[in-house]
Chains A and B, each alone.
Chain A
Amino acid sequence: MPHTARRVVLEPFRRNRGLLTSAYVLTVLWQLGEAAVPVMIGVVVDQGIATGDLGPFLLSCLGLGLVFLVFSLSYRFGGRMALRVQQAESHRLRLEAAGHVLDPRGVRDEQLSGETLSLATSDADKVTMLVRQLGYTIASLVTVVVTAVYLVGVDVTLALVVLLGLPVTIALTQAVSPVVARRTEREQAAVARVAGLAGDLVAGVRPIKGIGAEDVASHRYRTSSRAAQRSAVVTARSWGYLSGLTTFIAGAFLALVAWLAGSKALDGDLSLGQLVAVVGLTQFLAEPIKHLGDLSAQAASSWASARRIAAFLSTERDLVDGTVADVPERPRVELAGVTHGRLRDVSLSTSDGELLALAVDDPAAAAALVALLGGDVVPDSGEVRVGGTPAHALTIDARRRSVLVVPHAAYLPEGTLRSVVDPLGRLGADELDAVLAASAAEDVVALHDTGLDHAVRARGASLSGGQRQRLALARALAATPAVLVLHDPTSAVDAVTEQRVAAGLSALRRGHGATVVVTSSPALLAAADRVVWVRDGRVAAEASHATLLAEPDYREAVLR
């Protein structure tokens, strides 16, 4: 289903028809109950105070108490229901936004993480606020209608003035509301930008501190924050105009009714009691009028949020998804005459149980190769095949099941050493030990008394680069994929550890499937069963590391 602002706004109502109907009925009951209070006061005065009889006085007071009980309970439960729906829908939108980012098909990420955060919290809340707003709107409208019906019984002219006058007054207040809406939208966008910048700066805090650029960074945030501030003041002012306009129109309308009713009463067309009632009701109407007047600007602000959410949810997927779900358990990944980016007519293939190293001279070509091996990218020409099937024809799930491509700068989540390496808790103690040993991550575990239960901060911030890299490698090994593609997995570890990793990797992976390492580390190249040397985007040679070392160009490329 396409994501439109309309759908984002309407879905919460559709999904919660039952609960919202009850909530709105109770809200109307509450509003009518509030309106009945002055009426009941009149009854107490008429029946009790004016007569001086204690019995009727107490009885009417009891009636007043009942009215209180009804509207108080109505609000209590109606309000809770509406809030429950609002919170549930806000939660749902949040999950939808998170789910969009975390969709297996990927997403063309056009937003800063801070902006996405703002979308999933602030905007989601704003959209779902409409669920509660509608309750008050219905209550206001019902009050207006009930009042109008009463007025028809009193005086038709007055009733007409009120009934025709109300839409006109509300329409007048709408004159400025598009301006308010536009400004609000601009302000919200500015606020989202400020949030985005904050996230960006906080994420880059280490490099920033490293060159003592706290001042400059702080200044940039300040500039952005000030722009949002100016926008917020302008928006607030326009809300002020809207509010002032509504106040004035409601007042002028009241004056008109007072004059008409007063004149009619003087002419004898209206009794004194009716005059009091008409004037009292018109005055009471000021509240609903004001509410209805503000409504469209508030709704516009919610719509602006809904549009942003819809636009975000409509961003394109960036991975191809095919239909073939069948792949052999231990497939072979092949590149057949692939030309893509810097790569020219590259052909290579993995084989089960083998450690294949790709020595690539150009980082951009290396990155392209890694992306192609995962099958997520369709090459400009040539074909990538997994288990004999073109990769793009496979479902994402089928590709994931067979090939694991570990991003070079892999993200480590918050948790413990154990949960980072084996998030699903699939491995037995022996298997886990084997994985930790092969990746030399056992050293990291040994550093702490708490061992595998040692806490890890988000992004692995509490670890050194080499520790992060080894944990990421351990996690990849723990996943036991049929084809494992690693990109420079030892760039941050020392030479001795690197040799241990190279030996451990080839030994452990031999029993699990094919392994591809894009690297120029001699230790890894030496441990590989086969090396494909890619120079200037083409396959220059394919042999063992030892054999290739005879080529002066290769020596030059891989030796330090």
Chain B
Amino acid sequence: MSAPAAERTLLPVAGRGATTRLTLRLLARRPVAATATVLGFVLAGLAGVVSPWALGVVVDVVRDGGSRDDLATPVLSIVAAALVGALAEVVAVGALAQTAVPALAQLREDVLDRSLRLDSGRLEAAGTGDVMARVGDDVRTVTDALDEAVPLLVGSLTAIVFTAGGLFALDWRLGLAGLLALPAYAASLGWYLPRSGPFYRRERVAQGERAEALMAGVQGAGTWRAFGHERLAMEQVERTSDTARGLAQDVFVMLTRFWARMNRAELVGMLLVLGAGFWLVRDGAVTVGAATAAALYFHRLFNPIGAVLMVFDVVQRSGASLARLAGVALLPRDETAAHDLPGAPALVLSGVGHAWEPGVPVLHDVDLAVAPGERVALVGSTGAGKTTLAAVAAGLVTPTSGSVRLAGRPLDELGPATVRRHVAVVSQEVHVLTGTLRDNLTLAREDADDADLHEALDRVGASGWLATLPGGLDAPVGTFGVELTAAQAQQVALARVLLRDPAVVVLDEATAEAGSAGARDLEDAALEVVRGRSAVVVAHRLTQARTADRVVVMEAGRVVEQGPHDELVAAEGRYAELWRAWTSS
């Protein structure tokens, strides 16, 4: 019942180079912590090498028939190494968190930031599940990976260097035999990495689909329930979750086959060392003790080598997530500062055409000029392209052809910050953010004080219900608080415009979702909001058109009529037909 994942245009994923550069840049922000992390784990790794050495000394002491006092040095070294190792670990783990956690927090904040700034069409095409999976699942994957990989890598490399050194110190031929196992290790890695990479990427995508299905189930719960179609939403969750589960299992199967190959490499290395020991002892080149020690040293390399190889896997696994995070975080952010435009700016659209999907144009060659202070009503049947035109006029959408100018300058030249300072939109969607009523209002102007907020709410006619709201401005609203009606939510949205105080307002059927019972109150509020501003009002309630300076009638993506209300009614065209329908009933 749903569009398959392939049809969804997911948000961008960064290439390997860009991902790596971003990661390094983020880690380099805390050079002290990063250095402390590495040094700490090196020290912890070193401390780990002390006890095998000290135990060897104990054995030597006993074999050489030493005294109890001779045991003191090795035994105390073990205690000292344990203490040093423990302290190093405490420092290193803390330092790692201080390096990695802020870097990841930064990354998830950037991802959300860029997502909010994305063209809304692009964001909706990707689905909110994609964003959610990135700031959730992907961040978690990378965090876990870092917690796991960094201590392993640094500690293991330290252990490998010292143990391998010990092996060569025994006899260079024994060391060489151990080294010959390297190709076997490399082969298992070479088998595994190219196979698992695509799986990890598919797993991430599947998790995004799963998030999308879960969000659809939760957000649409009331509707699913009303129709008795809960099963459909559940099936979707079940299907996507099952796909993700299948991929997780496939990845693990691959991983266990990789481990089996790694075991094979260990066995090969072990046999090489033992074999070399056998011939060397037969030739009298080394002692049995040395051959034994070599075998035990090589055995001690199993874990660290395995750990280092696993780091490759972790890098690959988290790399897929990191690339998805970087893909969004690295999207360019327009840093052009907002600046004021002189006087009351005019808004001019010329030759605007737009297609949300290639080949399906919804606007054709539309010209529309809104003079400073002029109120233009946009009417027409639904699907005529009014909402698209409103979005284009507001600079939320870049049209596929034609230009939009504010105060004579193209919008892309002004930059989004400046456009948003001067043009505000109230869309037909109402969404009350979870938080207090104040939080919802100060979204428009962070430094607004109580008096400003009360005034704005009063002007949109909300002071009545505000007075009965327990807690007033600080009343929690939305999911955890008072459920505002659609009309109240829209009043809040209109009050935000007053707080924002832009020169141009675009109201896209801002009174629609309230239902007819509240529509008239909202119309008054809308009138208050557009007073003294240029306005484009998308309206199917023609009372709003009647009071506008000019009515623009759209049909099938084109402007078919325009002029003052009375003239259009007299002209007996499309508007007159709409007006008759409106007033006759």
Given contacts A107-B221, A262-B61, 14 further A-B contacts (CB under 8 A): A41-B292, A48-B274, A98-B233, A117-B132, A200-B433, A212-B424, A251-B78, A255-B78, A272-B59, A279-B55, A413-B232, A414-B2, A423-B227, A447-B383
Chain A positions 238 through 266: 1 when the CB is less than 8 Å from some CB of chain B, otherwise 0: 01110111011011101100110111011
What is the minimal beta-carbon distance from B284 to any residue of chain A, in angstroms?
10
Q: Which 7 A-B pairs have the closest CB atoms?
A: A251-B82, A212-B420, A466-B382, A240-B93, A236-B97, A411-B220, A488-B515
Task: Give the interface segment out of A78-86, A152-160, A301-309, A325-333.
Answer: A78-86
**Chain B contacts with A in 25-81, Cβ cutoff 8 A:** 44, 51-52, 54-55, 58-59, 61-63, 65-68, 71, 74-76, 78-79, 81
Chain A contact residues, majority secondary structure: helix
- Assess the B442–A216 pair: CB atoms within 8 A: yes
Contact of B479 among A106, A112, A226 (CB under 8 A): A112
Contact of A367 among B67, B105, B252, B485 (CB under 8 A): B485
Contact of A205 among B116, B266, B517 (CB under 8 A): B116
**Chain B contacts with A in 260-316, Cβ cutoff 8 A:** 260, 263-264, 266-267, 270-271, 274-275, 277-278, 281-282, 288, 291-292, 295-296, 299
Chain A positions 69 through 113: 1 when the CB is less than 8 Å from some CB of chain B, otherwise 0: 001110111011001100110110011001101111011011111
Question: Which chain B residues border A208 with CB–CB below 8 Å?
Answer: 116, 443
Question: Which chain A residues border B93 with CB–CB below 8 Å?
Answer: 236-237, 239-240, 243-244
- Assess the B223–A361 pair: CB atoms within 8 A: no
Contact of A406 among B226, B299, B480 (CB under 8 A): B226
A114 at interface (Cβ–Cβ under 8 A)?
yes
Chain B contact residues, majority secondary structure: helix
**Chain B contacts with A in 196-252, Cβ cutoff 8 A:** 207, 210-212, 214-230, 232-234, 236-238, 241-242, 245, 248-249, 252
Task: Give the interface segment out of B122-130, B343-351, B450-458.
Answer: B122-130
A351 at interface (Cβ–Cβ under 8 A)?
no
A61 at interface (Cβ–Cβ under 8 A)?
yes
A498 at interface (Cβ–Cβ under 8 A)?
yes
- Assess the A76–B256 pair: CB atoms within 8 A: yes
B137 at interface (Cβ–Cβ under 8 A)?
yes
- A487–B487 Cα distance when bound, in Å, is 14
Chain A positions 268 through 310: 1 when the CB is less than 8 Å from some CB of chain B, otherwise 0: 0000100110011001000000000000000000000000000
- Assess the A209–B396 pair: CB atoms within 8 A: yes
- Take A209-B116, A413-B2 as given contacts and tell me if A443 and B582 are in contact as well, using a CB distance cutoff of 8 Å: no
What is the minimal beta-carbon distance from B446 to any residue of chain A, in angstroms?
6
* Centre residue among A99, A110, A411, A424 by max chain B CB count within 10 A: A411
- A102–B223 Cα distance when bound, in Å, is 10
**Chain A contacts with B in 116-138, Cβ cutoff 8 A:** 116-118, 120-122
- A202–B65 Cα distance when bound, in Å, is 75
A149 at interface (Cβ–Cβ under 8 A)?
no
- A401–B228 Cα distance when bound, in Å, is 8
Task: Give the interface segment out of A6-14, A427-435, A517-525.
Answer: A517-525
Question: Which chain B residues border A397 with CB–CB below 8 Å?
Answer: 228
Q: Which residue of A lies closest to B384 (CB)?
A: A494
Chain A positions 364 through 382: 1 when the CB is less than 8 Å from some CB of chain B, otherwise 0: 1011000000100000000
Chain B positions 382 through 423: 1 when the CB is less than 8 Å from some CB of chain A, otherwise 0: 110011100000101000000000000000000011011100
- A122–B216 Cα distance when bound, in Å, is 18
* Centre residue among A113, A462, A492 by max chain B CB count within 10 A: A113
- Assess the A117–B211 pair: CB atoms within 8 A: yes
B140 at interface (Cβ–Cβ under 8 A)?
yes
Question: Which chain A residues border B1 with CB–CB below 8 Å?
Answer: 413, 415, 419, 423
**Chain A contacts with B in 349-365, Cβ cutoff 8 A:** 360-364
Q: How many of chain A's residues have a CB under 8 angstroms from any CB in B?
A: 178
- Assess the B51–A251 pair: CB atoms within 8 A: yes
Q: Which residue of B lies closest to A247 (CB)?
A: B86
* Centre residue among A45, A241, A280, A457 by max chain B CB count within 10 A: A45
A168 at interface (Cβ–Cβ under 8 A)?
no
- Take A254-B78, A262-B61 as given contacts and tell me if A363 and B581 are in contact as well, using a CB distance cutoff of 8 Å: no
* Centre residue among B92, B105, B253, B487 by max chain A CB count within 10 A: B105
What is the minimal beta-carbon distance from B444 to any residue of chain A, in angstroms?
5
- A225–B74 Cα distance when bound, in Å, is 48
- Take A205-B123, A237-B93 as given contacts and tell me if A491 and B519 are in contact as well, using a CB distance cutoff of 8 Å: yes
Question: Which chain B residues border A494 with CB–CB below 8 Å?
Answer: 379-382, 540, 578
- A250–B85 Cα distance when bound, in Å, is 11
- Take A239-B93, A266-B68, A413-B1 as given contacts and tell me if A496 and B430 are in contact as well, using a CB distance cutoff of 8 Å: no
Question: Which chain B residues border A405 with CB–CB below 8 Å?
Answer: 226
A455 at interface (Cβ–Cβ under 8 A)?
yes
Once A and B bind, how many residue pairs between them come within 8 Å at the CB atom?
537
Which of the four size classes fits the interface of chain B?
35 or more
Question: Which chain B residues border A106 with CB–CB below 8 Å?
Answer: 221, 225
**Chain A contacts with B in 515-544, Cβ cutoff 8 A:** 519-523, 525-526
- Assess the B224–A102 pair: CB atoms within 8 A: yes
- Assess the B52–A283 pair: CB atoms within 8 A: yes
Task: Give the interface segment out of A17-25, A139-147, A227-235.
Answer: A227-235
Q: Which residue of A lies closest to B274 (CB)?
A: A44
Question: Which chain A residues border B292 with CB–CB below 8 Å?
Answer: 41-42, 45, 49
Q: Which residue of A lies closest to B248 (CB)?
A: A87
Question: Which chain B residues border A61 with CB–CB below 8 Å?
Answer: 271, 274-275
- Assess the A64–B271 pair: CB atoms within 8 A: yes
- Assess the A44–B249 pair: CB atoms within 8 A: no
Task: Give the interface segment out of B16-24, B107-115, B161-169, B175-183.
Answer: B107-115
Question: Which chain A residues border B264 with CB–CB below 8 Å?
Answer: 68, 72
- Take A76-B259, A102-B234, A492-B540 as given contacts and tell me if A211 and B382 are in contact as well, using a CB distance cutoff of 8 Å: no
- Assess the A237–B516 pair: CB atoms within 8 A: no
What is the minimal beta-carbon distance from B62 to any residue of chain A, in angstroms?
4
A222 at interface (Cβ–Cβ under 8 A)?
yes
- Assess the B427–A76 pair: CB atoms within 8 A: no
Contact of B55 among A79, A212, A258, A408 (CB under 8 A): A258
Question: Which chain A residues border B579 with CB–CB below 8 Å?
Answer: 495
User: What are 5 A-B contacts defined by CB distance under 8 Å?
Assistant: A204-B431, A209-B120, A262-B58, A465-B387, A521-B585
Question: Which chain A residues border B480 with CB–CB below 8 Å?
Answer: 110
* Centre residue among B241, B252, B299 by max chain A CB count within 10 A: B241
Question: Which chain B residues border A240 with CB–CB below 8 Å?
Answer: 89-94, 97
**Chain B contacts with A in 545-585, Cβ cutoff 8 A:** 577-579, 581-583, 585
Q: Which residue of A lies closest to B277 (CB)?
A: A49
- Take A201-B433, A225-B109 as given contacts and tell me if A470 and B382 are in contact as well, using a CB distance cutoff of 8 Å: yes
- Assess the B485–A206 pair: CB atoms within 8 A: no
- Assess the B518–A266 pair: CB atoms within 8 A: no
Chain B positions 509 through 548: 1 when the CB is less than 8 Å from some CB of chain A, otherwise 0: 1001111111110000000000000000000111100000
A509 at interface (Cβ–Cβ under 8 A)?
no
Question: Which chain A residues border B256 with CB–CB below 8 Å?
Answer: 75-77, 79-80
- A110–B267 Cα distance when bound, in Å, is 56
- Assess the B517–A366 pair: CB atoms within 8 A: yes
Q: Which residue of B lies closest to A243 (CB)?
A: B89
Question: Which chain B residues border A437 with CB–CB below 8 Å?
Answer: none
- Assess the B428–A465 pair: CB atoms within 8 A: yes
Question: Which chain A residues border B125 with CB–CB below 8 Å?
Answer: 457, 462
A217 at interface (Cβ–Cβ under 8 A)?
yes
What is the minimal beta-carbon distance from B224 to any residue of chain A, in angstroms?
6
- A117–B509 Cα distance when bound, in Å, is 32
- Take A49-B278, A276-B59 as given contacts and tell me if A210 and B426 are in contact as well, using a CB distance cutoff of 8 Å: yes
Q: Which residue of A lies closest to B418 (CB)?
A: A212
Question: Which chain A residues border B516 with CB–CB below 8 Å?
Answer: 488, 491, 519-521
What is the minimal beta-carbon distance from A233 to any residue of chain B, in angstroms?
5
- Assess the B63–A487 pair: CB atoms within 8 A: no
- Assess the A91–B242 pair: CB atoms within 8 A: yes
Q: Which residue of B lies closest to A400 (CB)?
A: B228
- Assess the B540–A495 pair: CB atoms within 8 A: yes
B3 at interface (Cβ–Cβ under 8 A)?
yes
- Assess the A211–B425 pair: CB atoms within 8 A: yes
- Take A95-B237, A102-B224, A236-B93 as given contacts and tell me if A411 and B83 are in contact as well, using a CB distance cutoff of 8 Å: no
